[in-house]
Structure 1
């Protein structure tokens, strides 16, 4: 039986990982914009953030996007694991296998960074998504589930804030390599505008890392002090 070129070129593991990775990059922007409401004054932040949470949980379009998100997370993680295992088992080394001279340390350790992020996601989903969906969550003044209170209580512990910030830096390094790699995999990395892709990827990674890191630090300091 002949193989199908379309499946080989378009739905290969690397292409799937690139597509899911770029979708997750887009989701991170939306997620960060929503979480930035936590930087508002407390009386405004609670109502705004809880209303935002209700919008996300009750909108059919958002629900569809959430299913795409779950698929992307699972597919990206499994695909990365399969590719990593196959690369380690490969007997033929890449031409650039002396990578310490040609690549950054985070490019050589994407598997480790990805594993750390996966562990963080499990904790993150347990503490926020699972509690919001299935836990006994108190209601705010408007009768909405008070996700804001859950977030504030979570960031009351300095060690949790530290874990969150360190995970965001792991995410940032993961993005530094992942964004450029995804663009190259999909054939969009042309020498004419490669510098623009690198610059955008760098600033995107820095913005996501700092944006998500500031939030738990700000919440902890403003609500619980040093």
Structure 2
């Protein structure tokens, strides 16, 4: 029993670390994306440098590995809990949120990450500025990115609040800070399509 409990705790901590890695990447990615406001030359220069650096394949490998680990552990833990404990896990999760909503949000995030990645890989880095501008001139892309950002912000707030508890720090003291961090990150990402819309007007 102790072995099982220790293994569960270890997996939760590793899962939390994988989530933190993606959190810091989200900030790094935002800082790069914000160069969009500095103009085409600065934006293109950053991504040409980044995509051509040794840092890119290393980061891409770590992102794929940590995302796969995070997803596999989350799914297997939930399936294992359902089998071993039955109806106890049919309670709302997280509080006041039906499990189907929580898992639908996670599924939307995964689909959004895959869609966004494929989309970015299909774009020539040299033409990235104009391609991004064209993308956000289509209403359907606003809907897709808006839904993705909402799902990410919800998951991120929940994760930031609870990862501290998983790592041994009380999360109750950090819910407000977690909300502020999420709002700042989402505002940064939203500023790019909003800037394109403003320029068009």
Class of the TM-score when normalised by the shorter of the 2 chains: 0.7 to 0.9
Larger Rg: 1
C-alpha change, 1:80 and 1:26, in structure 2 (3 Å) is same
Instruction: Give the match for residue 122 of structure 2.
Output: 131
Q: Work out whether residues 161 and 178 of structure 2, in 8 Å CA contact, stay in contact via their aligned partners in 1.
A: yes
Is 2:44 aligned against 1:50?
yes
Instruction: Give the match for residue 75 of structure 1.
Output: 69
TM-score (norm 1): 0.76
Structure 2 gap ranges (5+): none
CA–CA separation in structure 2 for the residues paired with 1:90 and 1:9: 14
CA–CA separation in structure 1 for the residues paired with 2:53 and 2:9: 31
Instruction: Give the match for residue 218 of structure 1.
Output: 195
CA–CA separation in structure 2 for the residues paired with 1:166 and 1:75: 24
C-alpha change, 1:162 and 1:221, in structure 2 (3 Å) is farther
Q: How many residues align?
A: 200
Displacement of 1:110 = 2.9
Taking only aligned residues, the RMSD between alpha carbons, in angstroms, comes to 2.9
Structure 1 gap ranges (5+): 138-143
Corresponding residue to 1:91 among 76, 85, 95: 85
CA–CA separation in structure 2 for the residues paired with 1:104 and 1:205: 20
Instruction: Give the match for residue 185 of structure 1.
Output: 166
TM-score (norm 2): 0.84
CA–CA separation in structure 2 for the residues paired with 1:208 and 1:168: 10
